[in-house]
Chain A
Amino acid sequence: MQVATPALTLRTNAAEIIAHLGVFGAYFLAVQIGRYFALPQTDFSLVWPVTGLALAVVYLLGRRFVVTVALAAFAAHFVLQRVVLAAAAAGLGAGVAAAVGAWLLHRSGFRPRIEQVGDVLRFVLFGALASSAVSSLVGSAVMYSAGMAPWQSFASLWWMCWVADMMGILLVGPVLTAWAVDPGLAATARLRLEQGALLASVILAGWVVYSDVLPSGLAMSKPLSYCIFPLMIWAAVRCRPKEAALLLLVYAAIAVAYTNTGHGPFAGVALQEDFLSLHAHLGMLSLTTLLLASAMAERRAAEQAVRESEAKYRLMVENQTDLVVKTDRDGYVLFASPTVGETFGETPERLLGKPFRLLVRAADKDHPESPWGRLFAPPWCCYLEQPVQTPNGQRWLAWAAKTVMEENGEPGAVVAVGRDVTERRRAEDESRQYLEELAHVGRVSAMGEMAAGLAHELNQPLCAITTYSQACRRLLGANVAPELVGAMERVAANAQRAGEIIRHMRSFVRKDDPSVGPADINALIKDVLELTSAELRRSRVKVEVRLGRDLPAVAAARIQIHQVLVNLIRNAVEAMGTDAEGARRLLISTALDRGGGVAVVVADTGPGLPVGLLDNIFEPFVTGKTEGLGLGLSISRSIVENHGGRLFAGNRPGGGAEFHFSLPVFSQDQAKAG
């Protein structure tokens, strides 16, 4: 059996004791009230609010109050009848009924505020019907078996007991449970006034209908009793269920009190029949009112939830920096967020109904290449970036749009979210341009380096040709075969001319010497890391940078040092290409050089340089890679040496290659010389 958690908790022992005593006292009092409506010469009462109290107490405070309820019932009945057996039967019945009813309510998930239709139904079914059936059955069975009433009338008396108990639970139970868990009055003074007026109207109606104050000719007898319905409907619509339940209880008390004294539309036959018809009337009234009130409460809660949800989405849409637009299938704006208005210098309202395409000047939707076309066929969404004209000049907007499908599967509205990506585009353009420039400088350098390499390679054979021919001419002597001597002289002259051409070409290429200025080496490194960030990310290389602080400015041609750094970083990344995932690290550090310049180290965790290459890795056309000309390092060294620095390579003790280069500190003399 599931242990039910009480709806209310008592924190201290004192509170616990007071609660038990209070329940005992209240029970005693309620029995006295019930007794007031007893049939003449019997102990059967026609109204029994005690069962409602008992059920509410056990439901709210927990199972340990079952005993208190049983004891209170025993005591109250013993005081009345002085018969131990009858009192014990009453105690047992009250205790079992309350326990069963409370357990059923907990099991069924009943919520004591009764603000949902389901809770009203649970209360009626498990509280009113089941619990009262048990209490009346146990109570009357024990009394009959003790011979206190004749067996022949068992069914009719049990039925009467049940109805009395049921009405007690139905009228008292909701009031106690709902007010116990939520004792607050209506939120606004206006509502409280309205509810006060309702209460007064209900009391007035009760008095008018039941007190026989109207002359018998005007009383219209029973039909007049229906005048409570509009009042209760008003209450159900305007009040919370607990307030409606309280009004019901007040009205029922008036009705029962007058009927008991022989007044009102239900009085006049016999007390028993009078009460049964009154109970039928009140039962219908209660059920109607509670169901209607809880349905209204449910609806109010749903409306509140919708309002909150709408407010949440509105807050999100209206306060975000992105542009949100909803259009119909033909591209006419149905909704535009305030940011759209700001961007286009319009109020969002004025954009409604206008073609969205006017704003974004999109590529034609019917054009087969247009990304918008993808909106109207699977995958029903598109992404595009485009320039638009705004009052603040041209901005780039990135739009992600999606077609919302209608229930019949047809494409309906289009929701587009836009973002101003102007700054990003500008940065991308700039870095792309710079990379192109770098590549150009790289090509020029490569040409120069190639020319220099060729010159060196060609110079040796040319030198041999010249010298051989000159030696031949000397060996031949002036007077032997003058034609041969002339030819030899011309061989020498031509070889020397070829040498001159090569020398000239080399000096021509070397002439390309960008201006040197003061530069922050750390900033240069950050530039290059930014430029190569995509490449580094793609190769999953982790970059570790340790930059020296307060380094002096170096004398550098920025683009050339960028080129050196790009070369070294690319070499490092390529060297680590085949490495295991976690090991790919690029280490870049700067520090003051011992020689007074600034030193830069670019290291990697790759396999390192082959020992055979360490000596001539900087020579042109020497490479450890399968692709490439082998000019990168040669160019890099030429650049660094032209700057008056040095570049050298080595292997790190822990594996991987490292390249060191140094650059001289910028001084004012250089500024003048440059």
Chain B
Amino acid sequence: MNRAKHSAADSPTVFVVDDEADVRDSVGLLVRSAGLAVETFATAGEFLHVCDRERPGCVVLDVRMPGLNGLAAQQQLLKRGITLPVIFVSGHGDIAMAVRAVRAGALDFLEKPFNDQALLDRVHKALEIDAENRAHAAAEAEIARRLQTLTPRECEVMERLIEG
């Protein structure tokens, strides 16, 4: 879709994955109405093809889809080290499935049809968490980078400092 516009590393995107075109489109509209950037995908495969660990945001993922289903897509994300928070939506009020999704690290599980505010609250929360995760990761990366710039002598001094 309009991916180019949002390619900047610092602007978060809400990824909506649902096989039902109207659901996909309406959820996209709702999220955009809240002023957020949106990308929509008809299958989990398409989504996995596009996303990478550098892009901030969150995922609204339908559970039951032909081909790769929501839970399997979540597993793929984890395997590839992509830490995007996941909000599951499902037409089936399947408690067992919800439990499995949350245990695997999903942020929440919403039953269709959902309340707009409930979805947007989860989305905002998910983006916050993602931002925090990324800030955290960036800080760690900065420390590691700075450590790399120290001379061997400076390293030694620092180790002694830490040891007291």
**Chain A residues at the B interface, C-beta cutoff of 8 Å:** 455-456, 459-468, 470-475, 492, 495-496, 499, 503, 506-507, 615
Query: Do A470 and B30 form a contact, CB below 8 Å, given A459-B113, A462-B113, A499-B113?
Result: yes
A463 near B30: Cβ-Cβ < 8 Å? no
B113 near A463: Cβ-Cβ < 8 Å? yes
Residue of A nearest to B93 (CB): A503
B112 near A463: Cβ-Cβ < 8 Å? yes
Query: Do A460 and B20 form a contact, CB below 8 Å, given A467-B113, A499-B113?
Result: yes
**Restricting to B12-50, which residues have a CB under 8 Å from any CB of A?**
20, 22-23, 25-27, 29-30, 32-34
A605 to chain B, nearest CB (A): 31
A461 to chain B, nearest CB (A): 7
A475 CB contacts on chain B under 8 angstroms: 29, 33
Which residue of the partner chain, among A470, A503, A615, contacts B116 with CB atoms under 8 Å? A470
B34 CB contacts on chain A under 8 angstroms: 474
B116 CB contacts on chain A under 8 angstroms: 466-467, 470-471, 473-474, 492
B29 CB contacts on chain A under 8 angstroms: 467-468, 471-472, 475
B92 interface residue per 8 A CB criterion: yes
A460 near B112: Cβ-Cβ < 8 Å? yes
A496 near B91: Cβ-Cβ < 8 Å? no
Q: Would you mind naming 7 contact pairs between A and B with Cβ atoms under 8 Å apart?
A: A459-B113, A462-B112, A462-B113, A463-B23, A463-B113, A467-B30, A471-B26
B33 near A467: Cβ-Cβ < 8 Å? no
A619 to chain B, nearest CB (A): 10
A496 CB contacts on chain B under 8 angstroms: 113, 115
A669 to chain B, nearest CB (A): 18
B111 CB contacts on chain A under 8 angstroms: 503
A464 near B22: Cβ-Cβ < 8 Å? yes
Main secondary structure of the interface of A (DSSP, over half): helix
B66 CB contacts on chain A under 8 angstroms: 615
B26 near A468: Cβ-Cβ < 8 Å? yes
Complex alpha-carbon distance, A507 and B92, angstroms: 11
B93 CB contacts on chain A under 8 angstroms: 503, 506-507
A467 CB contacts on chain B under 8 angstroms: 23, 26-27, 29-30, 113-114, 116, 119
Q: How large is the interface on B (under 10, 10 to 19, 20 to 34, 35 or more residues)?
A: 20 to 34
B92 near A466: Cβ-Cβ < 8 Å? no
9 closest A-B pairs by beta carbon, nearest first, are A470-B116, A464-B22, A467-B26, A471-B30, A466-B113, A463-B112, A459-B91, A474-B33, A463-B113
**Chain B residues at the A interface, C-beta cutoff of 8 Å:** 20, 22-23, 25-27, 29-30, 32-34, 66, 91-93, 111-116, 119
Query: Do A456 and B91 form a contact, CB below 8 Å, given A464-B20, A499-B112?
Result: yes
B22 near A459: Cβ-Cβ < 8 Å? no
B92 CB contacts on chain A under 8 angstroms: 456
With a 10 A CB-CB cut-off, give which of B66, B91, B92, B93 has the most chain A CB atoms. Answer: B91
A501 to chain B, nearest CB (A): 12
Residue of B nearest to A452 (CB): B92
Complex alpha-carbon distance, A507 and B94, angstroms: 11
A465 CB contacts on chain B under 8 angstroms: 113
B112 near A459: Cβ-Cβ < 8 Å? yes
Complex alpha-carbon distance, A331 and B93, angstroms: 72
Complex alpha-carbon distance, A134 and B112, angstroms: 124
Residue of A nearest to B117 (CB): A470
Complex alpha-carbon distance, A468 and B33, angstroms: 11
Complex alpha-carbon distance, A511 and B26, angstroms: 33
Residue of A nearest to B29 (CB): A471
Residue of A nearest to B92 (CB): A456
B25 to chain A, nearest CB (A): 8
B114 near A463: Cβ-Cβ < 8 Å? yes
Complex alpha-carbon distance, A164 and B74, angstroms: 129
Complex alpha-carbon distance, A16 and B34, angstroms: 131
B113 CB contacts on chain A under 8 angstroms: 459, 462-463, 465-467, 495-496, 499
Q: Apart from A471-B29, A474-B30, list 14 A-B contacts with CB within 8 A.
A: A456-B92, A463-B91, A464-B25, A466-B113, A467-B26, A467-B29, A467-B116, A467-B119, A468-B29, A470-B116, A471-B30, A475-B33, A496-B115, A499-B113
A456 CB contacts on chain B under 8 angstroms: 91-92
Which residue of the partner chain, among A460, A461, A466, contacts B114 with CB atoms under 8 Å? A466
Residue of A nearest to B111 (CB): A503
B41 to chain A, nearest CB (A): 16
A471 near B33: Cβ-Cβ < 8 Å? yes
Complex alpha-carbon distance, A224 and B142, angstroms: 162
With a 10 A CB-CB cut-off, give which of B25, B26, B29, B93 has the most chain A CB atoms. Answer: B26
A628 to chain B, nearest CB (A): 23
A617 to chain B, nearest CB (A): 14
Residue of A nearest to B96 (CB): A641
B26 CB contacts on chain A under 8 angstroms: 463-464, 466-468, 471
Complex alpha-carbon distance, A579 and B91, angstroms: 41
With a 10 A CB-CB cut-off, give which of B29, B113, B115 has the most chain A CB atoms. Answer: B113
Residue of A nearest to B120 (CB): A474
A131 to chain B, nearest CB (A): 109
Complex alpha-carbon distance, A474 and B27, angstroms: 13
B30 near A460: Cβ-Cβ < 8 Å? no
B25 CB contacts on chain A under 8 angstroms: 464
Residue of B nearest to A476 (CB): B33
Residue of B nearest to A499 (CB): B113
B93 to chain A, nearest CB (A): 6
A473 to chain B, nearest CB (A): 8
Complex alpha-carbon distance, A474 and B117, angstroms: 10
Complex alpha-carbon distance, A259 and B150, angstroms: 169
Complex alpha-carbon distance, A496 and B114, angstroms: 8
B160 to chain A, nearest CB (A): 57
Residue of A nearest to B22 (CB): A464
Residue of B nearest to A506 (CB): B93
Residue of B nearest to A500 (CB): B113
Complex alpha-carbon distance, A492 and B116, angstroms: 9
B36 to chain A, nearest CB (A): 12
Complex alpha-carbon distance, A508 and B76, angstroms: 36
B87 to chain A, nearest CB (A): 14
B91 near A460: Cβ-Cβ < 8 Å? yes
Complex alpha-carbon distance, A459 and B93, angstroms: 11
Complex alpha-carbon distance, A88 and B148, angstroms: 153
